[in-house]
Amino acid sequence: MEKVVVAYSGGLDTSYCVKYLQNELNLEVHSVLVNTGGFSTEELKVVEAKAYEMGVKSHTNCNILETYYQKAIRFMVYGNVLKNNTYPLSVSAERVFQAIEVVEYAKKIDAKYIAHGSTGAGNDQVRFDMIFQTLAPTIEIITPIRDLKLSRQEEIEYLKKHGVDYPWSKAKYSINKGIWGTSVGGVETLTSNQGLPESAYPSQLEKTEPTNIKLHFKKGELVGLNDEFDTSVNTILKLEAIASKYAIGRDIHVGDTIVGIKGRVGFEAAAAVVTIKAHHLLEKHVLSKWQQNLKEQFASWYGMLFHDGQYFEPVMRNIEAFLEDSQKTVTGEVFLTLKPYHFSLNGIESDHDLMKSKFGEYGETNKAWSADDAKGFIKILGTPNKIFHSVNSEL
């Protein structure tokens, strides 16, 4: 029998794929779950048990948190990446690295096919297929849900017919959780005018008294929380545990999908939003005006390309090199106050703080120029405006 590797989550769609590949295509099925922070140890055991009950030849759980951080999250922090100034690419970036891991596993076991449970109406089909085609052009992609245009009920009936009768009750909200945030989709996000109710978000408000925290950055990376230093991955997880209790980082992202239609998705991303905003404040103090200006442009392109599954476009490595180089002086502490549903950025301390210069204090004193110097500078600075308006006085 030919081998097929299924990108498996244990949900209805991927479960259908397993049975369909076995029964209709007579393939030897190997399932892979790629964990980017969305599964507990107990949940992973449950998914693995279910996969074997489905009849897979083998099941593998892959934890890629450190790889995902090193190759994606840190660059999104360097760039303060928020798509449409809102969304920290919580799921978008994860899918790329899940696809990479699945295709590498398929190569490892010499599989002829790769399968995933994406529909034909979303972004994930593009991300998975593009990564598979790029890294393994000779491995054939099978997508039963997309190709057969199945309804949820048709999938359930098929599974029952083949001895699988789990309680596939459809949750009111579709939840995708990872270290960099959780997406939340429901009937409200299919409209243009409705917000998600409080109950839709997995993290509920648990704390109401404000809490002051301190984040430590070293060359742009989050390395500590309240004077406790750890790996960046562990620090992000610790920050999420604290900030999510305040229901921080909720919003609804509206944007252009890869397939060309507009879409809305809710999300909660406490650690991601707090980290990005704190990092951005530190950069305002330690980077030059033009470093910040150019970074914003590069980071916007980086986020758009990442969202659209273009991770292997060579310009992504060029942008990453620029972003990393820009972080040489982004070291220091950021002070914040966490509050219900929001947070305040209070200030920073850094040896590279450009406000510490001896040239003067904004709006108070100047030590590097005289009043006559200032008058001459302003006169020359305004010359282009004078020229334009003297030539075009009729406008």
DSSP string, 291-337: HHHHHHHHHHHHHHHHHTT-TTSTHHHHHHHHHHHTTTT--EEEEEE
Question: Residue 38: pLDDT above 90?
Answer: no
- Cβ(51)–Cβ(18) below 8 Å: yes
pLDDT at 28: 98
DSSP string, 107-168: HHTT-SEEE----SSSSHHHHHHHHHHHH-TTSEEE-HHHHHT--HHHHHHHHHHTT-----
CA distances to 92, 147, 225, 261 from 70, rounded to whole Å, are 16, 35, 19, 32
More confident residue, 313 or 357: 313
Average of per-residue pLDDT across 77-86: 96
Task: Indicate the pLDDT class of residue 149, thresholds 50, 70 and 90.
Answer: very high
pLDDT at 307: 95
* Fold held by 3-161: Rossmann fold (3.40.50)
What percent of the chain stands above pLDDT 90?
87
**Tens-digit pLDDT profile for residues 161-193:** 999 988 876 768 888 899 999 999 999 999 999
Give the orientation angle of helix 41-54 with respect to helix 12-23, to 10 degrees.
Answer: 30
Average of per-residue pLDDT across 220-240: 98
In the chain, what are the domain boundaries? 3-161, 174-287+326-349, 362-391
pLDDT at 395: 81
Question: Residue 42: pLDDT above 80?
Answer: yes
Question: Residue 16: pLDDT above 80?
Answer: yes
What count of other Cβ atoms lies within 10 Å of the Cβ of residue 298?
A: 18
Do β-strands 228-229 and 221-225 pair in parallel, antiparallel, or remain unpaired? antiparallel
**Tens-digit pLDDT profile for residues 318-364:** 999 999 999 999 999 999 999 999 999 999 999 999 998 888 777 77
pLDDT at 357: 84
DSSP 338: E
Average of per-residue pLDDT across 212-223: 98
**Tens-digit pLDDT profile for residues 378-391:** 999 999 999 999 99
Give the orientation angle of helix 124-135 with respect to helix 92-108, to 10 degrees.
Answer: 40
DSSP 87: B
174-287+326-349 classified as CATH 1.20.810.10? no
Question: Residue 47: pLDDT above 80?
Answer: yes
pLDDT at 364: 79
Task: Indicate the pLDDT class of residue 125, thresholds 50, 70 and 90.
Answer: very high
Q: pTM of the predicted model, to two decimals?
A: 0.93
| Nearest-5° Cα angle at 317, 301 to 6 | 90
